[in-house]
A and B are shown apart, each in its own frame.
Chain A
Amino acid sequence: MSQPLLQVEGVEAGYGSLRALADITLHVDAGEIVTLVGANGAGKTTTLRVVSGLVHPTRGIVRFAGEDISRLPPHEIVERGISHVPEGRKLFPHMTVAENLALGAYSRHARARMREALEEQLATFPRVKERLAQLAGTLSGGEQQMVAIARGLMASPRLLLLDEPSLGLAPKIVEEMFAKIAEIGAKGTTVLIVEQNVVEGLSISSRGYVIENGEVDRTLGSSAAELLSNERLRSAYFGL
């Protein structure tokens, strides 16, 4: 078997003296959709921030396509093909949707194929196309999330990081959102999702990891189907 696209090994990280991650080890293979599950404050978001270089690990290593990226600044990580869609959409609210999308194609390789990438995103998200000239802050929550994902994809990433894509959205929109994410995965982009909505997240994923107190729970397997049927998880996270 070839090496995984993303490999996180024994990562410890935090903010100042606060340790958010104690020991995170996980991997994502090319073409997979993987979901990180866990309670609030378990370290899911920090894990994504470490991968995209917004937080540097104090121990451990992050490899992307075999290369050590743990000390690289965020813009160089984007350049290598990782795109991070942060929690809560985080659009540039006073800019138009078109401008938001253009800013997603910052990296050198993305700029070269910006027009194609825009066409692709507008094909995937027809609703976004109708809103191009509108200020991003005036869109509905679901539309904003679509724009945020489209902006992330404008970088033509090999790995897309999605932080809580369903946050604050109506159930119907959530379903639509996950269908889109599955579609993006099927088109060949590898996706790593952090999600509170465990069932929706795992059901479009091939694998998942449960994070607790800054560590990956090693007693559980990582297959999504197994996790979905695990009794302990069902009671702890699914409320079933």
Chain B
Amino acid sequence: MTRSHALAAAAFAGALLVPFVVRSDYTLQVLFRLFLFSALGLAWNLVGGYAGQLSLGHSAYFGAGAYGLALSTRLGLPAWPSVGVGILVAMLFALVIGGVSFRLRGPYFALATIACAEILRLSAKNLTGLTGGDVGAAVPALFSGQVVRSFYWSAVLLASLAAAATLAVTRSRFGYYLMAIREDEDTALSVGIDTAKTKLAALLISAALTAVAGSLYASLFLYIVPDQVFGLDISNEVAIVAMLGGVGTIAGPIVGALILETASELFKNVFLEAHLLIYGGLLVFVVLFLPDGIVGTIVRRRTLARRRAKPPRAPDHAAA
């Protein structure tokens, strides 16, 4: 695994150096989105991929990060601690939303997460005293000076953090519990896994990372409205990024973000709102033809090929 470590380190260093080569603010902003959605996809993947709980309401945590930052600075808190408030609010939402919707399974769970996110969106629209409603709320700048570069770097850092967290989870006992829940929740229960606690823990990590992304996104725009940060669009895009690239893999969400963000930049002037149609089409295509996503499919093909090439390995005793 040392080769992939070296590769990851090189990619990280390379990503950090990009702003010294790329001078165009526009390009950097596109790359910012790319890494932001990689981070979001990775965060989603912990719950949607490894634990197999299809959340379609991650905008709840994204919006919590965005509004957490906007509203706590209004109360006089400095900008960066306000990001912390956003994280805490998102985790609080995760506790409540998880507590309610993890009682349900499959499509019912997905619907419950959408409902929860929609409740938050509508509340944000209507609690005008608190959020400013559809008029919107001002968001403080997190950076001064080389603003676009700083945003780009923070997105790279966040994506790396999310990737590192994912790696740590997959190598841990906790990661195995998540995968056991995905494989068969009843069996996970009967071998004695506290599935409620395990799913909630994954959601808390995921929500915290998603909230940071929400704060960054909001601060780049300096102004947010509920439909933008609590909307279904965000929830869907986050899930599609992970599913397109491959759920339950580390590289998957990054590949998914690369494809989706590139496509949306290329097509947004051509198709306008019709890009939603493309999302929908992509999702149907992936579900029908690449259920493991791009990375998942490649990994599976390679393992199969390796199995065929080599006789079965001698069993090794080191269990998990």
Contact = CB atoms under 8 A, between A and B. Distances in A.
Interface of A: 52, 54, 73-75, 77-79, 83-86, 90-95, 98-99, 101-104, 106-107, 110, 114, 118, 129-134, 151-152, 155
Contacts of A86: 186-187, 190
A46 B300 CA distance: 38
A74 B192 contact: yes
9 contacts: A75-B193, A78-B191, A78-B192, A102-B176, A104-B191, A118-B319, A132-B317, A133-B313, A155-B191
A90 B318 CA distance: 23
The 4 closest A-B pairs by CB, nearest first: A78-B192, A132-B315, A102-B320, A92-B183
B312 A93 contact: no
Contact of A130 (B186, B188, B315, B319): B315
A132 B192 contact: no
Contacts of B179: 92, 94-95
Contacts of B313: 133
Of A83, A92, A110, most B-chain CB atoms within 10 Å: A92
Contacts of A52: 190
Interface in B277-320: 312-320
B190 A84 contact: yes
B312 A133 contact: yes
Nearest to A148: B187
Nearest to A157: B192
Given A95-B183, A102-B176, A102-B320, A133 B192 contact: no
Interface residues of B, number: 25
Given A54-B189, A73-B194, A75-B192, A133 B316 contact: yes
B177 interface: yes
A35 to B, nearest CB: 20
B273 interface: no
Given A103-B176, A107-B192, 8 more contacts: A90-B187, A91-B187, A92-B180, A92-B187, A98-B315, A106-B192, A118-B319, A132-B316
Interface string B177-205: 10110011011111111101000000000
A130 B179 CA distance: 24
B315 A106 contact: no
Contacts of A101: 319
Nearest to A118: B319
A93 B183 contact: yes
Contact of B192 (A79, A85, A129): A79
Contacts of A103: 176-177, 180, 188, 191, 193, 320
Contacts of A90: 184, 186-187, 190
Contacts of A91: 187
Nearest to B193: A106
Contacts of A129: 315
| Most chain B C-beta atoms within 10 Å of own C-beta, residue among A83, A90, A101 | A90
Contacts of B188: 103
B189 A74 contact: yes
Contacts of B314: 133
A150 to B, nearest CB: 11
A194 to B, nearest CB: 14
B158 to A, nearest CB: 30
A56 to B, nearest CB: 13
Given A54-B189, A104-B191, A106-B193, A92 B315 contact: no
